[in-house]
């Protein structure tokens, strides 16, 4: 069956650098049923309506046991049994409660200026990182030296991780992220052990920090979460811990890819890079187009229906795994004109890059601002940047897709 091999091809590392022709195949039928039981949807309008469909659950408990276990890539990231599920993997009303409490110190209506208020601080972090970019030999790795450390530093500041602890935090995050990225050369058992160790250490660290914040609260997000004075109720200690870990991982994992994908795309479109260099305001529409063109989250693999649902004559049975390939929807010619063209001047960019519906990206305002600042500054300060490898080596993960390294050559770094 071609359908079966199609989804396998999509998740196959060999196609990571350019999955888009496979998505074109995927869109030829509204629903693909994979032999492992996964239903895959790639059309823009279908994905959008499923994201607003109150019969579609994000809760693993609503998923029927699949023969052969978890079939979907990217599912390794949760469900280690240590922490309760985060709001990412819960349905309303639990989802709404936890998300609302978490949102209180983060965004409108209660903290409308939190993110924009960080603009100056973000710019300083970006400047510092770029100041240290030039390795001397005229080459650098954008991932290692910039797009990875930037968001981790930002999330630390936001959560209220003391500066002195940032390096420890980096290293746990590093370990956890690399274990999300299964590599054939690393033994599975060993990887699990390393991940558990990092998670445990991180958990213990966060727990101690939360205790401190309980006694001596500041204005950071962790303090607000432990204070628990939201009218939506308070989170249990475990819920706070799980949420903090979610913010840490989700708060930078995706942004790394957004910035790296952005730099890669700009290097492939030098005329747009030049425009951005001359006019940093272009960063705003550019990042929107980027979220359409190369979204860091390629698919949402964790959904399943709580009733049999029908989609263009295909019944997706209750409890079956449903995978929504948002990156495919973003290139759907039924929705976007000339979808394979990167065009920051495009109007009407209602992309699916940050999802939609109740689970739409929690960190969207922060991710947008980080990417806008980062790309505008890189464009302004890097002198004659050029790709040393195209395509660059990608990370294993098909869900959270992005280059593992982005090696470039520059003539210098402008002051």
Positions touching another protein (CB under 8 A) are 48-49, 52-57, 91-93, 96, 109, 306-307, 309, 356-358, 360
Separation CA 260–CA 81 (nearest Å): 32
Minimum distance, C-beta of residue 337 to another protein, in the bound complex (Å):
15
Structural contact between residues 151 and 370, judged by C-beta atoms closer than 8 angstroms: yes
Separation CA 121–CA 127 (nearest Å): 10
The per-residue b/e assignment along 177-213, b for 16 or more CB within 10 angstroms, e otherwise, is bbbbbeeeeeeeeebeebbeebbeebbeebeebbebb
Sign of CA dihedral 396, 77, 193, 251: positive
Minimum distance, C-beta of residue 333 to another protein, in the bound complex (Å):
21
What DSSP state is assigned to residue 69?
A: S
Distances (CA, A) of 375 to 139, 143, 147, 259, 381: 18, 13, 10, 7, 10
Minimum distance, C-beta of residue 54 to another protein, in the bound complex (Å):
4
133 vs 306 by CB, closer to another protein: 306
Minimum distance, C-beta of residue 74 to another protein, in the bound complex (Å):
22
Minimum distance, C-beta of residue 53 to another protein, in the bound complex (Å):
5
245's enclosing H/E stretch is helix 237-268
100 vs 387 by CB, closer to another protein: 100
The phi and psi torsions of 335 (rounded to 5 degrees) equal -120, -40
58 vs 223 by CB, closer to another protein: 58
Q: Which residues contact 112 (CB under 8 A, 6 or more apart)?
A: none
Separation CA 240–CA 236 (nearest Å): 6
143 vs 326 by CB, closer to another protein: 326
Minimum distance, C-beta of residue 91 to another protein, in the bound complex (Å):
5
Minimum distance, C-beta of residue 335 to another protein, in the bound complex (Å):
15
Distances (CA, A) of 104 to 126, 155, 206, 220: 27, 16, 20, 11
């Amino acid at each position: 069956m071609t359908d079966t091999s199609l989804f396998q091809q999509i998740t196959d590392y060999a196609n990571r650098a350019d999955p888009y022709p496979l998505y074109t195949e995927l869109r030829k039928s509204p629903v693909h049923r994979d032999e492992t039981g996964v239903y895959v949807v790639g059309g823009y309008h279908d994905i959008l309506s499923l994201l607003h469909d109150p019969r579609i659950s994000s809760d693993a408990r609503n998923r029927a046991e699949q023969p052969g276990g978890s079939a979907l890539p990217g599912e390794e990231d949760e469900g280690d049994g240590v922490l309760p599920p985060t709001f990412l993997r819960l349905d309303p009303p639990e989802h709404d409660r936890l998300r609302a409490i978490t949102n209180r110190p983060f965004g409108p209506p209660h903290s409308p200026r939190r993110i924009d208020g960080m603009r100056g601080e973000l710019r300083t972090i970006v400047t510092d990182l770029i100041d240290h970019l030039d390795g001397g030999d005229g080459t650098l790795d954008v991932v290692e030296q910039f797009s990875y450390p930037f968001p981790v530093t930002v999330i630390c500041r936001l959560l209220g991780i003391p500066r002195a602890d940032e390096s420890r935090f980096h290293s746990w995050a590093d370990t956890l992220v690399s274990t999300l990225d299964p590599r054939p050369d690393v033994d599975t058992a060993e990887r699990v052990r390393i991940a558990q160790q990092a998670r445990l250490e991180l958990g213990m660290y966060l727990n101690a920090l939360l205790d401190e914040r309980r006694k001596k609260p500041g204005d950071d997000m962790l303090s607000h979460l432990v204070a628990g004075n939201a009218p939506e109720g308070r989170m249990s200690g475990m819920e706070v811990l799980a949420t903090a870990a979610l913010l840490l991982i989700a708060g930078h994992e995706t942004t790394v890819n957004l910035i790296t994908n952005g730099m890669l795309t700009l290097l492939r479109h030098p005329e747009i890079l030049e425009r951005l260099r001359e006019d940093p305001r272009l960063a705003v529409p550019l990042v929107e187009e980027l979220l359409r063109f190369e979204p860091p989250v390629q698919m949402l693999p964790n959904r399943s229906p709580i009733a049999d649902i029908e989609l263009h004559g295909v019944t997706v049975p209750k409890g079956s795994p449903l995978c929504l390939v948002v990156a495919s929807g973003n290139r759907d010619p039924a929705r976007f004109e000339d979808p394979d063209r990167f065009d920051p001047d495009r109007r009407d960019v209602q992309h699916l890059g940050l999802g939609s519906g109740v689970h739409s990206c929690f960190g969207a305002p922060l991710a947008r601002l980080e990417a806008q600042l980062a790309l505008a500054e890189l464009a302004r300060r890097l002198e004659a940047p050029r790709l040393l490898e195209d395509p660059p080596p990608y990370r294993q993960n098909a869900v959270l897709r992005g280059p593992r390294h982005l090696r470039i050559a520059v003539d210098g770094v402008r002051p």
